[in-house]
Amino acid sequence: MSKRKYFGTDGIRGEVGGSTINAEFALRLGYAAGRVLVKHFPGREHPAVVIGKDTRISGYMLESALEAGFSAAGVDVLLAGPLPTPAVAHLTRALRLVAGVVISASHNPYHDNGIKFFSGQGMKLPDDIEAEIEAELDQPLGCVRSELLGRARRIDDAAGRYIEFCKSTFPNALDLLGLSVVVDAAHGAAYHIAPHVFRELGADVTAIGCEPDGFNINEGVGAMHPERLIDEVRKRGADVGIALDGDADRLQMVDASGRLYNGDELLYAIVCDRMTQGPVPGVVGTLMTNFGFEKQMRVLGVDFHRANVGDRYVLESLLSKGWQFGGESSGHLLCLDRHTTGDGIVAALQVLTAMIRSGRSLEALVSDLKMFPQIMVNVPLVPGTDWKAHRGLKQATQEVQSLLGDRGRVLIRASGTEPKLRLMVEAEEQSLAEQGIDHLLAVDLTNV
């Protein structure tokens, strides 16, 4: 497939007012996407999409522009208001719509925003459909005849529908009675949803990061800034803390002592619990998944595969292999036996299921998982440098990997956003990782 002009690995994203995240582009995008969807669903007189958004002030502008574009193309629009990204995926599938649209920049600050699409199956839009939309964006903006215009209406019960869906992913035989939980929604899309989910399952809930003002999304709270949650859990003597990001597809958790657990550890707890219910043939991680996780999967007899960084690629690998569980260290966790996409609330419920079903603390659940010390250093890279062909770097990499053996690994990859090379070494001991990274840093990348 040719290089995409607008779509990245997670939709279209940028600074508000820039070349893409503005009202004019959103209008054209809605029209272009609508034209493509009408073509792919010729049997439907008025194909329909749902639009959800997070709490950024710019969401109102982009929502209105997208709505106008879809209507001009003859596509009906259901407006869900502020709603987590995975909630839009669920509604798209539950309401039998042709696509879902999310206006969000996830964990980024408020001055960024983005637009991404879900297919009618509640999964990321296929690459070939995104390519068609990009091609259609180059065509003039038009409008169908008045009698063919799409209609728009609001879904007043969108939040309630999603709350019930989240609760349905928790075993009916279990509850959260007696559990004290602090929920941090990052002043984002789950501010009016996450506390209700855990409260309605019986937990004693303290909500923080649930007062959005259009500008404070992810600011000092949520999965990107868990310090506030850690303090709150300790201060209140809570049993567990749950941190989401701005669009609620990312999760970190905190135990009663204030210890923070990342995506690798939480995925391990989920997988171990599922293994008590039936076989788990394999798990998908990414290039950044801790080496300790990979080694422990081997101990458990579970196949492990590394996908490229990005939950999109984790999902693609899971579907190709027919597996159900995967995720990223950052907290994007996929449980395809519960949902079609990564979901922070649903993932948290699966971790709580493991705790309650086993009667063990989160610390005890992951006690067999030894996380390897990881050192990452960014080094400047002259634009255009073919670092993969750099003989000195190639030799140093081989030497470090030989030094580590089965006690660690080396990962070198170029940044996708700046002229830098990311060097990473993991090892069983911190000193071994430091030795490895020092050896890589000694390479002169200016001398090819």
Contacting residues for 329 by C-beta, under 8 A, at least 6 apart? 262, 263, 264, 285, 286, 288, 289, 290
Active-site pick, 58, 71, 104, 106? 106
| DSSP codes of every residue in 256-308 | TT--EE-HHHHHHHHHHHHHTTS---EEEEETTS-HHHHHHHHHHT-EEEEEP
The three-state (H, E, C) secondary structure of 106-136, written as one string = CCCCCCEEEEEEEECCCCECCHHHHHHHHHH
- Residues 138 and 397: their CA atoms lie apart, in Å, by 44
Contact 149, 72 (CB under 8 A): yes
Contact 100, 118 (CB under 8 A): yes
12 forms beta bridges with 115
Which stretches of 83-221 are assigned E, i.e. beta strand? Answer: 99-103, 112-119, 152-154, 180-184, 204-208
Dig out the tokens for 120 from the structure. 């009618």
Is residue 64 annotated as a catalytic residue, yes or no?
Answer: no
Query: How many residues can be counted in the chain?
Result: 448
Crossing angle (nearest 10°) for helices 127-137 and 23-40:
120
- Residues 331 and 274: their CA atoms lie apart, in Å, by 18
Name the residue among 254, 301, 309, 264 with its Cα closest to residue 282. Answer: 301
Phi-psi region of 152 (alpha: psi -120 to 50; beta: other; left: phi over 0): beta
Dig out the tokens for 412 from the structure. 């070198």
Pairing of strands 325-327, 204-208: unpaired
Dig out the tokens for 398 from the structure. 């081989």
Contact 414, 381 (CB under 8 A): yes
Dig out the tokens for 150 from the structure. 């799409």
* Catalytic site positions: 106
